[in-house]
A and B are shown apart, each in its own frame.
Chain A
Amino acid sequence: MALVSFAFHGVLARPRSWVVGLLAAGSAALLTLGVALVGGISDGTRRSLIESGTGDLQLYNATSTGTPVVVQDSGGAPELQPIPDFANVEARVRAVDGVREVVPLEVGGAWVFRGNYLDEKLSSVRAVAREPASPAREARLALLGADLERTLRDVVRDDGRRAEAFAFLKEDEAREDRLALEAVAEPAFWERFRAEPLETLEYLENRVARQVGEGASIDVEFLASDLALFPRAFPRFELVSGSLPPPGQRGLMLGQGLYEQHFKLPVAALLDTLHRERSRGATFAQDESLRTVAERCLVELPDLLARLDAERSQAVAQALGTLLGHPGEVEPLLREFLTLDDANFDARYQQFQDVLAPHLPLYRVRPGDTLVLMSPNGSLGVTGVPVRVWGTFRFKGLGGDLSRVNSLGLLDLVTARFLANRRTQAEDEEVRKDVEALGLAQPMAPTDLALQPAAIIEAPEPGGEGPPGAAPPVFARHEAFPEHFTPEAMRGGGVLQAALVLEPGADAGAVAERIDALAKETGAPLATVDWSEAGGLLAGVVGITQVVLLALAALMSLFVVMVSGSTLLLLARERVGEVGTLRAVGMQRREVFAVLLCEGLLLGVLGAGLGVGLGVALLRLVAGQGLPVRDESLQVFMGGNVLMPQLSATAGVVVVAVVGAVVVAASLVPAWRGSAVLPIEAMRKRED
Chain B
Amino acid sequence: MPTLFLLALRNMFAHRERALLLLAIVAGASGVLVLSVALTAGVAASHRAAIATFLSGELNVGGYFKVHPDSIAPVMGDAARVREVVTPLVPDGCALRERGRGRATVGVGRRRFESYLVSVDVAGERGAPGGFRMKEGSLDALAKARTVVLSSTVAERLQVGRGDIATLFAQPAGSLRRNAVDVEVVAILENAGLLGGSSGILVSNDTLRELEGYRPGSAGVLQLVCPVESRPDDPDALGGMWRDALRTSGFEVLPALNEAYGDKLGPMLREGWRGQRLDVSTWQDESAFLSFVTNGLAALSVLLGMVVLGVIVVGLFMALSVAVRERTREIGALRAMGMQRVSVVGLFLLEGLLLGFVGSMSGATLAWALCGLLRGHVALPAPLVNLFFSSTLPLEAGPGAAVLAVVLVTGAAGVAAVLPAFRAASLSPRSAMESL
Give the interface of A toward B (CB within 8 A).
16, 19, 23, 74-76, 113-117, 155, 158-159, 161-169, 210-217, 266, 296, 299-303, 305-306, 376, 378, 380-382, 446, 448, 540, 548, 552, 555-556, 558-559, 562-563, 565-567, 569-571, 573-574
Q: Is the CB of B270 within 8 A of A213?
A: no
8 more contacts with CB within 8 A, not counting A559-B311, A563-B318, are A113-B176, A115-B70, A116-B69, A165-B214, A169-B213, A213-B69, A380-B180, A556-B307
Chain B 232-275 per-residue mask, 1 if CB under 8 angstroms from chain A, else 0: 00000000000000000000000000000000001101111111
Query: Chain B nearest CB: distance from A217 CB in Å?
Result: 7
Minimal Cβ-Cβ distance residue in A for B194: A74
Minimal Cβ-Cβ distance residue in B for A544: B383
Given known contacts A16-B322, A161-B275, A380-B169, is B25 in contact with A559 (CB within 8 Å)? yes
Minimal Cβ-Cβ distance residue in A for B29: A559
B77 surroundings in chain A (CB, below 8 A): 164-166
Q: Is the CB of A158 within 8 A of B274?
A: yes
B198 surroundings in chain A (CB, below 8 A): 74
Of the candidates B178, B271, B274, the one whose C-beta lies within 8 Å of that of A382 is B178
B358 surroundings in chain A (CB, below 8 A): none
Q: Is the CB of B178 within 8 A of A165?
A: no
B84 surroundings in chain A (CB, below 8 A): none
Ordered by A's residue number, 25 sampled pairs between the chains whose C-beta atoms are within 8 Å are: A76-B112, A116-B69, A165-B65, A165-B67, A166-B77, A168-B213, A169-B213, A212-B68, A213-B71, A213-B175, A306-B272, A376-B169, A382-B171, A382-B178, A448-B110, A559-B25, A559-B29, A559-B311, A562-B25, A562-B315, A563-B319, A567-B319, A567-B322, A570-B322, A571-B322
> CA A626 – CA B32 in complex, angstroms?
34
> CA A237 – CA B273 in complex, angstroms?
42
Give the interface of B toward A (CB within 8 A).
17-18, 21-22, 24-25, 28-29, 32, 63, 65, 67-73, 75-78, 105, 107, 109-110, 112-114, 157, 167, 169, 171, 173-176, 178-180, 197-198, 209, 213-216, 218, 266-267, 269-276, 300, 303-304, 307-308, 311, 314-315, 318-319, 321-323, 325-326, 383
B70 surroundings in chain A (CB, below 8 A): 114-117, 212-215
Q: Is the CB of A19 within 8 A of B318?
A: yes
> CA A238 – CA B22 in complex, angstroms?
61
Q: Is the CB of B174 within 8 A of A217?
A: yes
> CA A567 – CA B316 in complex, angstroms?
10
> CA A300 – CA B271 in complex, angstroms?
6
Q: Is the CB of A158 within 8 A of B270?
A: no
Q: Is the CB of A165 within 8 A of B21?
A: no
A215 surroundings in chain B (CB, below 8 A): 70-71, 174, 269-270
> CA A266 – CA B269 in complex, angstroms?
12
Q: Is the CB of B68 within 8 A of A213?
A: yes
> CA A122 – CA B209 in complex, angstroms?
33
Q: Is the CB of A214 within 8 A of B176?
A: yes
Query: Chain B nearest CB: distance from A616 CB in Å?
Result: 21
Given known contacts A213-B174, A266-B270, A556-B307, is B69 in contact with A162 (CB within 8 Å)? no
Q: Is the CB of B270 within 8 A of A566?
A: no
A302 surroundings in chain B (CB, below 8 A): 69, 271-273
Given known contacts A155-B68, A567-B318, A570-B323, is B215 in contact with A167 (CB within 8 Å)? yes
Minimal Cβ-Cβ distance residue in A for B300: A548
Query: Chain B nearest CB: distance from A32 CB in Å?
Result: 16
Q: Is the CB of B270 within 8 A of A303?
A: yes
> CA A469 – CA B77 in complex, angstroms?
61
B270 surroundings in chain A (CB, below 8 A): 114, 215-216, 266, 300, 303
> CA A74 – CA B153 in complex, angstroms?
12
> CA A306 – CA B68 in complex, angstroms?
12
Minimal Cβ-Cβ distance residue in B for A382: B178
> CA A162 – CA B213 in complex, angstroms?
11
> CA A540 – CA B387 in complex, angstroms?
13
**Considering residues B29, B105, B179, B318, which has the most beta carbons from chain A within 10 angstroms of its beta carbon?**
B318
Given known contacts A159-B67, A161-B275, A380-B169, is B78 in contact with A555 (CB within 8 Å)? no
Of the candidates A113, A376, A569, the one whose C-beta lies within 8 Å of that of B105 is A376
B323 surroundings in chain A (CB, below 8 A): 570
Query: Chain B nearest CB: distance from A109 CB in Å?
Result: 10
Given known contacts A116-B70, A217-B174, A563-B25, is B326 in contact with A540 (CB within 8 Å)? no
> CA A562 – CA B319 in complex, angstroms?
11
Query: Chain A nearest CB: distance from B278 CB in Å?
Result: 12
Query: Chain B nearest CB: distance from A271 CB in Å?
Result: 15
> CA A555 – CA B306 in complex, angstroms?
12
Of the candidates B178, B272, B303, the one whose C-beta lies within 8 Å of that of A303 is B272
Q: Is the CB of A162 within 8 A of B174?
A: no
Q: Is the CB of B318 within 8 A of A165?
A: no
Q: Is the CB of A214 within 8 A of B71?
A: yes
A540 surroundings in chain B (CB, below 8 A): 383
Q: Is the CB of B112 within 8 A of A569?
A: no
Of the candidates A166, A216, A300, the one whose C-beta lies within 8 Å of that of B213 is A166
B326 surroundings in chain A (CB, below 8 A): 570, 573-574
Q: Is the CB of B24 within 8 A of A555?
A: no
**Considering residues A159, A211, A448, A570, which has the most beta carbons from chain B within 10 angstroms of its beta carbon?**
A570
Top-9 shortest CB links A-B: A302-B272, A213-B71, A563-B315, A165-B77, A213-B70, A116-B70, A215-B70, A559-B311, A164-B77
Q: Is the CB of A566 within 8 A of B22?
A: yes
Given known contacts A167-B216, A216-B266, is B178 in contact with A158 (CB within 8 Å)? no
B179 surroundings in chain A (CB, below 8 A): 169
Query: Chain B nearest CB: distance from A27 CB in Å?
Result: 9
Given known contacts A215-B269, A380-B180, is B174 in contact with A164 (CB within 8 Å)? no
> CA A559 – CA B114 in complex, angstroms?
48
Q: Is the CB of B176 within 8 A of A210?
A: yes
Q: Is the CB of B315 within 8 A of A165?
A: no
Q: Is the CB of B314 within 8 A of A552?
A: no
Minimal Cβ-Cβ distance residue in A for B21: A566
Given known contacts A74-B198, A555-B304, is B69 in contact with A161 (CB within 8 Å)? no
Q: Is the CB of A299 within 8 A of B271?
A: yes
Given known contacts A558-B28, A570-B18, A573-B326, is B276 in contact with A159 (CB within 8 Å)? no
Query: Chain A nearest CB: distance from B65 CB in Å?
Result: 4
Query: Chain A nearest CB: distance from B339 CB in Å?
Result: 23
B29 surroundings in chain A (CB, below 8 A): 559
Query: Chain A nearest CB: distance from B15 CB in Å?
Result: 9
Q: Is the CB of B315 within 8 A of A164?
A: no
**Considering residues B63, B114, B213, B273, which has the most beta carbons from chain A within 10 angstroms of its beta carbon?**
B213
Given known contacts A215-B270, A299-B271, A570-B322, is B113 in contact with A76 (CB within 8 Å)? yes
> CA A354 – CA B17 in complex, angstroms?
79
> CA A57 – CA B232 in complex, angstroms?
55
